[in-house]
């Protein structure tokens, strides 16, 4: 980022990272479900070559008990894991952590339905994904989701999320993405979550008329929407910033570098002019050759500082109550989570 808008951006970063910094785990806000020791996590190792507790990621997740109440840190050693993975709703407090996204890859090849095609589906609350590549290699002919996030209070750090159509189904809940690379062509960030994307790179594969976002807010009472803060937009052809999957679709780009991949009009109405009066599409202090708003559609907005401010803080996603640092102590997995918990109680 250049000097343009740096002072206000720095202020927002202080707001955003006064509570969390880089690698974090999450804590539930619901009474009675918070792990009593937030500094300690149970460590499960996954190594496809047999030098860990499990060879498959799904097997490690399956080892977490239903209604889990402990932080579980699943450390995935480098490799390419050809798995279709689900983190069930009854298994909160799970972290999947790779070594680096470049060498820790989760891949599958499925297309068609957005709810059944994902390579990784997260239904559980209080989930963290770190330093992983999550990809769907199905191709260009069908919707093919790489990652679906439907659990509340989920965060992703340094991940690479790759497909072509509907790459990231940011489905429901409050979510946070930091320094992630997200690639696709058509509606490749879609869904109805309330999410902040901080310093992420959005890379469009669209040759023409593709869309980065398709946010699905369907009512003015829903507190959902996507904020892209300090991000970078690149690509190979031409694309729109977004189009309205829902009538009250809400997307904000703030202090983001926009390359000339974005067409001058900026936004598409999905051939429904009735949505012009209900969508909320805003830009605030963006820069780059695609950031000129003089030819933007009239139903989008250039936001003032006061208008943009509510979308540039973790309060938008309730983050002050659930973003936490990564545990500093680890208990080794000994065959079952219950045995580790019992051993801890007897210490």
Q: Which is nearest to 238 in space by CA: 262, 271, 264, 202?
A: 262
Catalytic residue among 166, 170, 268, 269: 166
For 97-141, what is each residue's pLDDT tens digit? 999 999 999 999 999 999 999 999 999 999 999 999 999 999 999
Is 113 catalytic? The answer is no
User: May I ask the CATH architecture of the domain 6-29+36-346?
Assistant: 3 Solenoid (2.160)
- Classify 112 in phi/psi space as left (phi over 0), alpha (psi -120 to 50) or beta: left
Q: Compute the distance between CA of residue 63 and CA of residue 42 in angstroms, rounded to an integer.
A: 12
The rounded mean pLDDT for the chain is 89
Is 187 catalytic? The answer is yes
Catalytic residue among 126, 152, 187, 268: 187
Tell me, what's the pLDDT at 19? 40
Q: Compute the distance between CA of residue 43 and CA of residue 41 in angstroms, rounded to an integer.
A: 6
For 62-79, what is each residue's pLDDT tens digit? 999 999 999 999 999 999
Residue located via tokens 């619901």: 30
Q: Are 15 and 31 in contact (CB under 8 A)?
A: no
Spell out the domain ranges in the chain.
6-29+36-346
């Amino acid at each position: 980022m250049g000097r343009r808008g740096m002072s206000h951006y720095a202020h927002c970063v202080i707001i955003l990272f006064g509570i969390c910094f880089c690698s974090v785990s999450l804590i539930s806000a619901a009474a009675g479900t918070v792990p009593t020791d937030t500094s300690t996590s149970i460590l499960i190792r996954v190594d496809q070559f047999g030098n860990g507790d499990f060879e498959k990621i799904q097997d490690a997740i399956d080892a977490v008990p239903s209604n889990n109440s402990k932080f579980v840190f699943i450390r995935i050693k480098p490799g390419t894991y050809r798995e279709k993975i689900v983190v069930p709703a009854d298994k909160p407090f799970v972290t999947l952590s790779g070594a680096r996204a470049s060498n820790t890859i989760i891949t599958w090849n499925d297309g068609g339905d957005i709810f059944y095609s994902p390579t990784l589906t997260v239904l559980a609350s209080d989930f963290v994904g770190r330093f992983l590549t999550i990809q769907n290699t199905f191709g260009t002919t069908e919707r093919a989701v790489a990652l679906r996030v439907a659990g509340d209070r989920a965060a992703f750090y340094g991940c690479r999320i790759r497909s072509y159509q509907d790459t990231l189904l940011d489905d429901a809940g409050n979510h946070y993405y930091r320094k992630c690379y997200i690639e696709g062509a058509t509606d490749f960030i879609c869904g109805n979550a309330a999410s902040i994307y901080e310093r992420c790179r959005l890379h469009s594969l669209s040759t023409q008329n593709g869309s980065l976002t398709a946010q699905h807010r369907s009512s003015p009472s829903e507190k959902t929407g996507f904020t892209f803060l300090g991000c970078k937009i690149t690509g190979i052809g031409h694309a729109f910033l977004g189009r309205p999957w829902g009538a009250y679709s809400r997307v904000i780009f703030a202090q983001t570098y926009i390359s000339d991949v974005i067409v001058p009009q900026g936004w598409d109405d999905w051939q429904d002019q009735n949505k012009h009066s209900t969508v909320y599409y805003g830009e605030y202090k963006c820069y780059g050759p695609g950031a000129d708003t003089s030819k933007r559609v009239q139903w989008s907005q250039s936001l003032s500082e006061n208008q943009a401010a509510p979308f540039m803080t973790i309060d938008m996603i309730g983050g002050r109550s659930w973003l936490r640092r990564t545990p500093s102590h680890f208990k080794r997995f000994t065959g079952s989570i219950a045995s580790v918990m019992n051993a801890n109680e007897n210490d």
